[in-house]
Structure formats: structure tokens, C-alpha cells
């Protein structure tokens, strides 16, 4: 018993020492900037954002702290946490603008510059934030709607992996805006692929006339492909965002396209804009969002993108 406790304690100490040892010390003159997202832990997309942010932080000599929580109240709490640490800037995704409003006011009251990014294209100005980096999700959705019309789709499914997240709803709304056919929204549960596959299969069996599946998260596109095969459906598949596997499948012609918001750029610019603001008072964008997308990746340009996707930075 005692032995175990000592062992556990020693183990815990070793782990925390390793973790703490990994972060650079806060030297004089080095800025400390917090990046706070609503990313689900272990999601490739958010990892690419983080890699972009780390690249900018390294170049600008910034100590980057990265926090993420996919729930509204916890993301808001993380903002307060960063304010209490007296960071020099905060880059934050505005996925839950109402929940985050109070914490953002707190940061503004403390004089900390804030850049919104990735989510909240409609809300950043209302929150008194002066810069925003990202893709306008409604515009991106509308571009997908146009694409579906051009390919002659009559009926499509929009696969949403995080019910209640504003920017995903906006994508679906954008598609509805321009798409002339019928659009169904289907929610799947986090990253449980077996359950996602079963639900997409079920939807395709329930609506056999569906001819297009659009996944709002790239990890779900290969699963949708399985489901289409399982249901014996003829539906084609397009997705938001990229993963190495998605870029392979586009190259093989099994997926039609991916709409890329260039998450690396989002992470990079969000940090870089804070740096510009701190060192020289710049406000970039002229009151408009700094747009990182949408761009379509399909068979015609996949070769160029694929080599970066392999390295996990696209």
C-alpha cells in the first residue's frame, strides 16, 4: 500500500517534471500569448491550427500557451484563466460567443489585445474585438451549395460532428442558402467512427434519393465513404477541411473535393496579428475579417497540396 503510494507519487512527479520541462521558460522581453479554442482533443484539424500558431510563435519569439475545450462554459473559463495569468495577448475561437462574452470583457478590461479566429465571423465585431482571421463559414457553405448545383445534385446530407457549434451550423446554413436541392442535417457523435458510420448508413437507407454527402469535418469523409458503400448508395462525397487520408482519397478519385480554410494560416495569422499589434499597434483587416478560405482542393490541384498534407501541416 505504502509502496504503491510512493510509486504513484514518484510517477506523478516524473510526469509533471517532464511536462514542465518541455515548455520554454518565460524570459524577459518574450511575450506570452494564449491560444484558446473549442477544438476536441485529438482532432487533426486543431492540431494543424496549433502547428501554425507554434510556427508564428517561434518566429516572433512568443511563448505560446494552448488551451482547448469543446464545451461553451469551459472555453469561457479558459479565457478567464489566461487573463489571470496576465498574458500579453489572446487568440480565441468564438464558437460560443454568448458564453464567452463576459470573459472577453474581462480580458478587454485588463487591456489584453484579442484576435478572434476560426469561429465567430458574425460576432467578433459585436464583442468589440478588432481583428478576426478565418473563413466566413456562410460564404464557404454557399460555395459548397454552388458546387453541388453545378454537379447536378438534387438531395444532399450535411454531416455535423458537434451539435450546437455555431460555425458548423453556419456551414450548413450557407449550403442551404445556395443549394437548390433538399438538404438534410445529420448529427454524429464526436469521433466514434463506428457510430458515425452506422448513422450515415441509416440516413442513406432512409433517404435512398440522396446523391451527395458533405461532411463538415475531414476525419468523417472516409467513414462516409464506407457508409455509402455499405448502404449501396451512389452518393458522391465532399468534405470541409483536409487530412492526409482525405487528400489520398481525393487523389484516388474516391472523394470529389475538400473545401480548405487553411487552418495552418488561421493559427499562424492569429498569433502574428497579436504580435504586430503589440510591437507596432497595427490593426489588420480594416474592420473586415482576414480571410483564409474557402479554396477548393480537388483532383486538379491535389498533387501540390498532398505533400504538405502528408507532413500534417495542411
Partner 1 sequence: MANITQTMSLRAPRRAVAHQSLWRRVLKRPEAGALGGAILVLIFFSIMAPPFRQTSAFMTVLYQSATIGIPAVPVALLMIGGEFDLSAGVAVTASSLVASMFATEVAGNAWAGVAFALMFSIGIGALNGYLLLRTRLPSFLVTLSTFLMLQGLNIAITKLVTGNVATRDIASMPGFSSAHAVFASSIRIGSVNVSIAIFYWLALVGIATWILLRTRAGNWIFAVGGEGESARAVGVPTRKVTVGLFMAVGFGAWFLGMHMLFAYDTVQSGAGVGNELLYIAASVVGGCLLTGGYGSAIGSALGAFIFGMTTEGVIYANWDADWFMFFVGAMLLIATVVNFWIRSRVSRGY
- Quick check: 191 binds partner 1 (CB under 8 A)? yes
- Quick check: 244 binds partner 1 (CB under 8 A)? yes
| Minimum CB distance to partner 1, residue 189 (Å) | 8
Site for partner 1 in 138-177 (CB under 8 A): 163
The secondary structure of 178-231, three-state, reads HCCCEEEEEECCCCCHHHHHHHHHHHHHHCCCCCEEEECCCCHHHHHHHHHHHH
Q: What is the number of other CB atoms lying within 10 angstroms of the CB of residue 191? A: 16
Query: How many amino acids of this chain bind partner 1 (CB under 8 A)?
Result: 42
Q: Please, are residues 260 and 314 in contact by the beta-carbon 8 Å criterion?
A: yes
Alpha carbon distance 38, 265 (integer Å)? 17
- Quick check: 248 binds partner 1 (CB under 8 A)? yes
Stretch of 25-33, 200-208, 255-263, 281-289 contacting partner 1, by CB under 8 A: 200-208
Q: Please, are residues 312 and 51 in contact by the beta-carbon 8 Å criterion?
A: yes
Interface map 11-40 toward partner 1 (x if CB under 8 A): -----------------------------x
Site for partner 1 in 202-241 (CB under 8 A): 202-203, 205-207, 219, 222-223, 226, 230-232
How do strand 257-260 and strand 295-298 relate by DSSP bridges? antiparallel
Of the pair 236, 314, the CB lying nearest partner 1 is at 314
Cα-based angle 194, 297, 256 (whole degrees, multiple of 5): 55
- Quick check: 195 binds partner 1 (CB under 8 A)? yes
Q: Which of 153, 167, 201, 277 binds partner 1 (CB under 8 A)?
A: 201
117: left (phi over 0), alpha (psi -120 to 50) or beta: beta
- Quick check: 43 binds partner 1 (CB under 8 A)? yes
Interface map 120-139 toward partner 1 (x if CB under 8 A): --------------------
- Quick check: 44 binds partner 1 (CB under 8 A)? yes
Element (H, E) at 258: strand 257-260
Q: Which of 82, 238, 43 is nearest to 147 (CA)?
A: 238
Q: Which of 193, 296, 298, 308 binds partner 1 (CB under 8 A)?
A: 193
Stretch of 25-33, 109-117, 187-195, 294-302 contacting partner 1, by CB under 8 A: 187-195
Of the pair 222, 238, the CB lying nearest partner 1 is at 222
- Quick check: 42 binds partner 1 (CB under 8 A)? yes
Stretch of 42-50, 142-150, 254-262, 278-286 contacting partner 1, by CB under 8 A: 42-50
Q: Which of 147, 171, 199, 314 binds partner 1 (CB under 8 A)?
A: 199
Three cell numbers at 128?
A: 468589440
- Phi/psi of residue 63, each to 5°? -85, 115
The secondary structure of 269-288, three-state, reads HHHHHHHHHHHHCCCCCCCC
DSSP, collapsed to helix, strand or coil, labels residue 93 as coil
DSSP, collapsed to helix, strand or coil, labels residue 248 as helix
Q: Which of 280, 240, 275, 282 is nearest to 261 (CA)?
A: 240
Q: Which of 30, 32, 47, 173 binds partner 1 (CB under 8 A)?
A: 47
Of the pair 130, 205, the CB lying nearest partner 1 is at 205
Alpha carbon distance 13, 205 (integer Å)? 53
Radius of gyration of the chain (CA): 21
- Quick check: 192 binds partner 1 (CB under 8 A)? yes
- Phi/psi of residue 197, each to 5°? -60, -45
Binding site for partner 1 (CB under 8 A): 1, 4, 40-44, 46-47, 163, 184-187, 189-195, 197-199, 201-203, 205-207, 219, 222-223, 226, 230-232, 243-245, 248, 312
Amino acid at each position: 500500500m505504502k509502496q504503491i503510494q510512493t510509486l504513484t507519487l514518484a510517477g506523478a512527479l516524473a510526469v509533471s517534471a517532464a511536462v514542465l520541462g518541455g515548455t520554454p521558460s518565460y524570459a524577459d522581453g518574450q511575450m506570452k500569448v494564449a491560444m484558446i479554442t473549442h477544438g476536441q482533443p485529438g482532432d487533426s484539424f486543431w492540431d494543424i491550427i496549433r502547428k501554425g500558431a507554434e510556427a508564428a510563435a517561434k518566429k516572433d519569439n512568443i511563448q505560446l500557451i494552448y488551451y482547448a475545450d469543446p464545451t461553451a462554459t469551459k472555453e469561457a473559463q479558459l479565457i478567464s484563466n489566461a487573463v489571470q495569468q496576465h498574458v500579453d495577448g489572446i487568440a480565441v475561437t468564438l464558437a460560443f460567443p454568448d458564453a464567452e462574452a463576459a470573459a472577453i470583457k474581462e480580458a478587454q478590461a485588463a487591456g489584453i489585445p484579442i484576435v478572434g479566429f476560426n469561429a465567430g465571423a458574425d460576432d467578433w465585431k459585436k464583442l468589440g474585438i478588432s481583428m478576426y482571421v478565418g473563413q466566413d463559414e456562410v460564404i464557404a457553405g454557399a460555395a459548397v451549395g454552388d458546387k453541388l448545383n453545378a454537379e447536378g445534385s438534387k438531395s444532399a446530407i450535411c454531416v455535423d460532428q458537434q451539435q450546437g457549434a455555431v460555425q458548423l451550423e453556419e456551414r450548413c446554413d450557407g449550403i442551404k442558402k445556395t443549394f437548390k436541392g433538399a438538404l438534410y442535417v445529420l448529427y454524429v457523435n464526436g469521433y466514434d467512427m463506428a457510430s458515425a458510420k452506422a448513422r450515415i448508413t441509416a440516413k442513406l437507407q432512409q433517404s435512398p434519393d440522396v446523391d451527395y454527402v458533405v461532411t463538415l469535418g475531414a476525419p468523417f469523409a472516409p467513414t462516409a465513404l464506407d457508409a455509402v458503400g455499405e448502404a449501396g448508395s451512389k452518393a458522391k462525397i465532399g468534405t470541409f477541411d483536409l487530412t492526409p487520408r482525405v487528400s489520398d482519397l481525393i487523389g484516388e478519385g474516391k472523394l470529389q473535393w475538400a473545401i480548405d480554410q487553411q487552418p495552418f494560416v488561421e493559427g499562424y495569422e492569429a498569433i502574428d496579428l497579436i504580435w504586430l499589434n503589440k510591437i507596432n499597434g497595427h490593426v489588420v483587416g480594416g474592420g473586415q475579417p482576414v480571410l483564409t478560405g474557402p479554396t477548393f482542393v480537388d483532383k486538379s490541384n491535389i498533387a501540390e497540396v498532398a505533400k504538405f498534407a502528408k507532413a500534417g501541416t495542411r
